[in-house]
Amino acid sequence: MRSRRAGLAAVAAVALLGGCSSGSDAVDVNNGGEFRFVAGTPAAQVIPDTERASAPEFTGTLLTGETFRSTELAGDVAVLNFWGSWCAPCRVETPEFQQVYDEVKDDGVQFLGLNVKDYDQQFADAFVADEGITFPSLYDPEGRVALAFRDYPAAAIPSTIVLDRQSRVAAVYTGEVRQDDLRAVLARLSAEA
């Protein structure tokens, strides 16, 4: 009995430690065991060039009904923002992303919204219209694209993944991203050869 209690205590301790994180941006996302990401990128920082991994390719349907392929992002810096109409931080962040998008859209930077968990598209359409969003958004209620990014916290809403010109993951943010942080990251990635 004593060894059984000791074993249970050890399992509980491991479970508690497994949920701990080393920073305020860290996340332990467990969506059926699919996500293994453990820490977000610190504000206005970029993953070193030698440590970047290629982003997975994906396809989907935009809110406008058109087909979108991730290969359309190749050669540009790309901001992928996972959002939902029901998400309070998204209501703050998305209009700010629109402002940054307006500033950089002619400089080789693309934005793509990825609407997740809105099972009725009219909510996503209304959100985009109400917020005046002009960059495209993929309608992905089942989170298929989030699953493609299984090594990153795309299931945490909002979350943002920034790709470099080689379609590699250069920065990952969980939670709301401030405009100044996003501008700094985009400026750095845009300046890379």
With respect to residue 14, please indicate whether it lies within any of the assigned structural domains: no
With respect to residue 24, please indicate whether it lies within any of the assigned structural domains: no
* pLDDT in the model for residue 112: 98
Q: What is the pTM of this model?
A: 0.78
Q: How far is CA 84 from CA 17, 88, 156, in A?
A: 31, 9, 11
With respect to residue 161, please indicate whether it lies within any of the assigned structural domains: yes
With respect to residue 17, please indicate whether it lies within any of the assigned structural domains: no
Number of domains composing the chain: 1
With respect to residue 166, please indicate whether it lies within any of the assigned structural domains: yes
Torsion of CA 82, 87, 93, 99, to 10 degrees: 80
Each of the 193 residues of the chain gets a pLDDT tens digit; together they read: 444 333 333 333 322 222 222 233 333 333 343 333 334 555 657 889 999 999 999 999 999 999 999 999 999 999 999 999 999 999 999 999 999 999 999 999 999 999 998 999 999 999 999 999 999 999 999 988 888 887 776 567 888 999 999 999 999 888 888 899 999 999 999 999 6
**Domain ranges, residue 104:** 42-191
With respect to residue 105, please indicate whether it lies within any of the assigned structural domains: yes
- Check which CATH number belongs to the domain holding 109 and give it: 3.40.30.10
Alpha carbon distance 3, 27 (integer Å) = 33
With respect to residue 69, please indicate whether it lies within any of the assigned structural domains: yes
85 by Cβ neighbours in 10 Å (0-12 / 13-18 / 19+) ranks as buried
